[in-house]
Structure 1
């Protein structure tokens, strides 16, 4: 007697989902190298084109002002400026792939920075233990806000747009209540240490962002957690039928986004030396724009961390290049807005072409 055939789950835009012991074990990018995963996917075309756009921008600014733009000093500053936004965007990538949205990351960043500062002030603000406590408080605070978002979305059945808009106001309001509307200064040891330290000539903040991005990029592309995220965004009913614990997973996804926002708050505190309560009002929109420009579909189920990295650096390069050339910074908003609209249009066109 031949062995029974292995049951197959429903197919989604990321490929077939095989069922193994009640869990989805194949969804999202197929196994293989990261390069193969990017080049072999249906959604890779947008990443390639956006990557070419970024390369053209870098080349153009390098030709127009090679002494300033292409200098190692400027490129390192550009990377440091993008590092904090990249953390927010990576977390947002997971949320949007799961067919959600998170408007609260900017508020969580600020609230985490405020609570971290208060914790460090209460413990002396000068010892290594105090600085580590501040980092732990920032990450834990961000995680708590993210878990609250996920619980309200998954178990409260409240649309993520409404939930995260509400927690955005709550977190910013909470930060203002704690500080009295006045920015708190970071401990000098944090600002002069982590904020300025370099490893192999590259700011430590950049290395931290790179490490987190690589790990979460691999998790999304190659691990079960990432495949479940794709499955939920592709077809939540099919994912639930296939054995994915959807509610629990959504709490983890939003918790991850909150945790990264908390880490970003601590790194922002180290880099700029103040909590910047009023300086992060558009961080959520910048993160969403970067993710969408990088090829992640607002409809869920499609996207990569590689695309998000490209999407983060396009506005960063534009802003940096315009400043060097003396162009009014308002043009950056015009160009980024146009690229964002083009990215969403391309995503819709691609979905229609696939469906037909």
Structure 2
């Protein structure tokens, strides 16, 4: 009879409670980071609803929130896997831009007259594939340098962040591509299915698949194991090098998908709009309870973490509070999340 070597290493991490799997459900719930972060999000919604009852708590507001966070959510799902392994990826924003640029340039090249505005779904499909492949290749490069060459993730992804952004600029001489198929913009960018924006549906499906992969499969258990203790995981029979390679490649793949989604929504490569997406994805993941020290995290927490700054921004705009207060508030929540994680680790280690 064979056993999964990751199960004994990460049994306490898979349930997201840091080692309280045998406690009653209520105790485990209150002990989880996700519970407290969800309360923060709920409190923000209540405050803004009271402050602007006829404007914040509306279907239009929440639909806009979902659309505006869709691309960042896809990036953050990939970032969750990376940070759980005790890694980091600063390149996802640049990879998103590069993937969108490759996709747009491909569709331009395949369209008559060099403009993709009237391109059909055959051209759009090729653009999707090339964009996703471009993102995946950057993820593979990150994985090879980190897992095989043993270069620290911070240094590798800092380098590829600049390289991917520079390559995107080179592809179109430093300017945005604005020739995007109208069919793509109308269908994926602004189309709906039973009233739900298609962009949101794509992000939701990717998030659900990411949650399934992280919380119910061997790949997810290995991710927790590597982040909890890479050496222990290696001694228990887990191929740490191969797994890290897969995780960073997955993150690049999702950045490629996010790049195509952004292209569909904005009908342009919008280079300047994504330069801080890497930091936003990291912040959302950490605010959602994923530990920067590795081994702890959940996709549900990341979803909540993505919406906290989005709700703050929307609420401040509706109540006419200056934007810089949003930056202060998000920074405070981020620092509090890291402090809470460190405190929880100290308490666990003292037992």
Q: Compute the TM-score of the two structures, normalised by the length of structure 1.
A: 0.90
| 1:85 paired residue among 61, 65, 72 | 72
* Match in the other structure for 1:322: 316
* Match in the other structure for 1:148: 141
Q: Give yes or no for the alignment of 1:170 onto 2:163.
A: yes
The separation in 1 between residues aligned to 2:194 and 2:27, in whole angstroms, is 34
Q: Give yes or no for the alignment of 1:187 onto 2:181.
A: yes
Contact 1:29 1:41 in 2 (8 A): no
1:194 alignment partner, SS class: helix
How does 1:39-58 map onto structure 2 within 5 Å?
44-58=31-45
Q: Which runs of 5+ in 2 are unaligned?
A: 17-22
Offset, 1:156:
0.5
Contact 1:105 1:283 in 2 (8 A): yes
Offset, 1:133:
1.1
Q: 1:37 to 1:180 in 2, by over 3 A?
A: farther
2:297 alignment partner, SS class: coil
Q: Say which structure is richer in helix.
A: 2
The separation in 1 between residues aligned to 2:216 and 2:260, in whole angstroms, is 29
Offset, 1:71:
1.5
The separation in 2 between residues aligned to 1:220 and 1:7, in whole angstroms, is 15
* Match in the other structure for 1:15: 11
The separation in 2 between residues aligned to 1:8 and 1:276, in whole angstroms, is 45
Q: Give yes or no for the alignment of 1:29 onto 2:15.
A: yes
Contact 1:43 1:302 in 2 (8 A): no
Contact 1:43 1:303 in 2 (8 A): no
1:15 alignment partner, SS class: helix
Offset, 1:28:
2.6
* Match in the other structure for 1:222: 216
The separation in 1 between residues aligned to 2:2 and 2:101, in whole angstroms, is 57
The separation in 2 between residues aligned to 1:79 and 1:313, in whole angstroms, is 9
Q: 1:55 to 1:80 in 2, by over 3 A?
A: same
Q: 1:6 to 1:60 in 2, by over 3 A?
A: closer
1:330-353 Cα shifts (integer Å, max 9, x gaps): 111100000000000010000000
Q: 1:41 to 1:121 in 2, by over 3 A?
A: farther
Q: Give yes or no for the alignment of 1:64 onto 2:51.
A: yes
Offset, 1:325:
1.0
Offset, 1:188:
2.2
Offset, 1:320:
0.7
The separation in 1 between residues aligned to 2:271 and 2:209, in whole angstroms, is 29
| 1:199 paired residue among 165, 178, 193 | 193
- Equivalent residue pairs, number: 337
2:202 alignment partner, SS class: helix
Offset, 1:44:
5.0
1:269-301 Cα shifts (integer Å, max 9, x gaps): 111111011221110100000000000000000
2:272 alignment partner, SS class: coil
| 2:105 paired residue among 100, 115, 118 | 118
* Match in the other structure for 2:327: 333
Q: Give yes or no for the alignment of 1:213 onto 2:207.
A: yes
Contact 1:87 1:261 in 2 (8 A): yes
Offset, 1:179:
1.3
Contact 1:290 1:311 in 2 (8 A): yes
Q: Which runs of 5+ in 1 are unaligned?
A: 17-26, 31-35
The separation in 1 between residues aligned to 2:136 and 2:231, in whole angstroms, is 27
Offset, 1:223:
0.5
* Match in the other structure for 1:21: none
The separation in 1 between residues aligned to 2:25 and 2:106, in whole angstroms, is 42
Contact 1:28 1:231 in 2 (8 A): no
Contact 1:147 1:255 in 2 (8 A): yes
CA RMSD of aligned residues (A): 2.3
